[in-house]
Amino acid sequence: MVRTTVSVIKADVGSVAGHVCPTISMVEYAKKILEEGRETGIVKSFYVYSVGDDVGLVMTHHKGENNPEIHELAWKVFKEITEKISKPLKLYAAGQDLLKDAFSGTVKGMGPGVAEIEFEERGSDPIIVFAADKTSPGAWNLPLYKIFADPFNTAGLVIDPVLHEGFIFEVMDLREGRTAKLKTPEESYDLLSLIGTTNRYVISKVYRAKDNEPAASASTTRLSYIAGKYVGKDDPVLIIRAQSGLPAVGEILSAFAVPFLVPGWMRGSHYGPLMPVSFKKKQNVVSYFDGPPRVIAMGWQIAEGKLVGVDGVEPVDLFEDPFWDTVRQKASEIALYMRTMGEFMPARIEQEEMEYTTLPKVLEKLSSRFIEVKP
Ligand code: 13P
Ligand code: 13P
Ligand code: MG
Ligand code: MG
């Protein structure tokens, strides 16, 4: 049986009016290159989206995860957009996420974010791709836990015998570069003890315990760990398969109904609420304090290795439902409240994360002002 892979590769390669959005020409350019890739058989289908200032490529094929041809195609898209559009137009932070020069088989460790999932197609295979701007990979920990391990979020964990056996979470320790697998519900508390520390432990994959069926895959890039300094946030992506023995689409989306706080927002240095937005209604312009952080949800079916949307490959805009207006309202209120705290923690992110920003330069200037005392 042929296996299908969904690869999502994204990067911020420059934007208009600061870190707000890419130009339409950048998205069109990406489509042109991927269409060539489709014609020459590298990908079977594709879709190009933008969220805030990030451009994302959703590609389907039968080549498996981490395939050099797929990664090279994505690298070519981002490199050429930078050279041909962002730099000549002096767009803001042109080529921001391209941290290395020469491609060497994978975009991992080079700046762009990657999430990939390979599976054998079921009788019907719905997927959701989430893409966020102004935050970082740990942002998915809370919703992934709710979707795959919290019966108050996912009724299927109680009702459906296939889900009832639980899920296996692969957790990546970003600092040490290692992974561990934990099984829920048995190891829920152990899992929470790790993934509550969102800036170090991030969920990279989720599998169904009954048969190891791949259920979710998230990007885990930390730009600051590659560059050694703050260059922008990592604005993560997440792929989740749904229905028929996996959480239903509505259960997956439920995890975003209360806006939780994520790190990112202005200068990547503040906690703000993650706001679910519609991409069709153009709620995609990050404008209040460069935010608030936001997430879009794109829904497709997968058939014979291709994306099936509502009109060709055009995805369902899952946060378009008026229900989410209330959630957006709530997120705006939380955002305003968080800003009343200015630069005081916990509105500003923790000291060790600030190390990568320009704050150490300010602190350095003050170091000579201190005199020693016994605390
Ligand atoms: P599945 O049988 O596809 O899991 O769907 C159940 C359902 O009706 C969820 O809304
Ligand atoms: P991005 O990570 O989306 O480029 O945002 C950077 C930033 O500093 C916003 O204030
Ligand atoms: Mg940017
Ligand atoms: Mg961004």
Strand order in the sheet with 3-11: 45-51, 54-61, 3-11, 113-120
- Per the annotation, the verdict on 330 as an active-site residue is no
Closest by CA position to 276, among listed 115, 58, 130: 130
Q: Of ligand 2's atoms, which has the minimum distance to the CA of residue 233?
A: 2
Contact by Cβ (8 Å): 24, 139 = no
Q: Is the pLDDT of residue 222 over 90?
A: no
What is the Cα–Cα distance from 318 to 242, expressed in whole angstroms? 13
| Residue whose CA is at the smallest distance from ligand 1 atom 9 | 248
To 10 degrees, the CA torsion angle through 227, 229, 233, 234?
30
288-346 pLDDT, tens digit per residue, is 999 999 999 999 999 999 999 999 999 999 999 999 999 999 999 999 999 999 999 99
- Per the annotation, the verdict on 311 as an active-site residue is no
Residues flanking ligand 2, CB < 6 Å = 12, 19, 52-53, 96, 133-134, 232-233, 235, 266-268, 290
Q: Is the pLDDT of residue 232 over 80?
A: no
Q: pLDDT tier at 221 (50, 70, 90 boundaries)?
A: confident
- Ligand number nearest CA of 268 is 2
139-189 pLDDT, tens digit per residue, is 999 999 999 999 999 999 999 999 999 999 999 999 898 999 999 999 999
pLDDT at 252: 98
Residue 54 CA to ligand 3 center (angstroms) comes to 7
- Report the share of the chain in percent with pLDDT over 70: 100
Catalytic choice (12, 53, 235, 290)? 12
Range 266-284 burial, b when 16+ CB lie within 10 A, else e? bbbbbbbbbbbbbbeeebb
Instruction: Give the up-direction half-sphere exposure of residue 231: CA atoms within 13 A in the CB hemisphere.
Output: 24
Q: Which residue has the higher pLDDT, 69 or 233?
A: 69
Listed range (123-132, 177-186, 210-219, 222-231) with the worst mean pLDDT:
222-231
pLDDT at 225: 80
Catalytic choice (63, 146, 205, 233)? 233
* Mean pLDDT calculated for residue range 86-100: 95
- Report the share of the chain in percent with pLDDT over 90: 88
Listed range (79-88, 173-182, 351-360) with the worst mean pLDDT:
351-360
Catalytic choice (29, 47, 145, 230)? 230
6-42 pLDDT, tens digit per residue, is 999 999 999 999 999 999 999 999 999 999 999 999 9
Distances 183 to 142, 186, 200, 207, 280 between C-alpha atoms, Å: 16, 6, 19, 9, 37
| Residue whose CA is at the smallest distance from ligand 2 atom 5 | 232
pLDDT at 229: 82
Q: Is the pLDDT of residue 348 over 90?
A: yes
Q: Is the pLDDT of residue 247 over 80?
A: yes
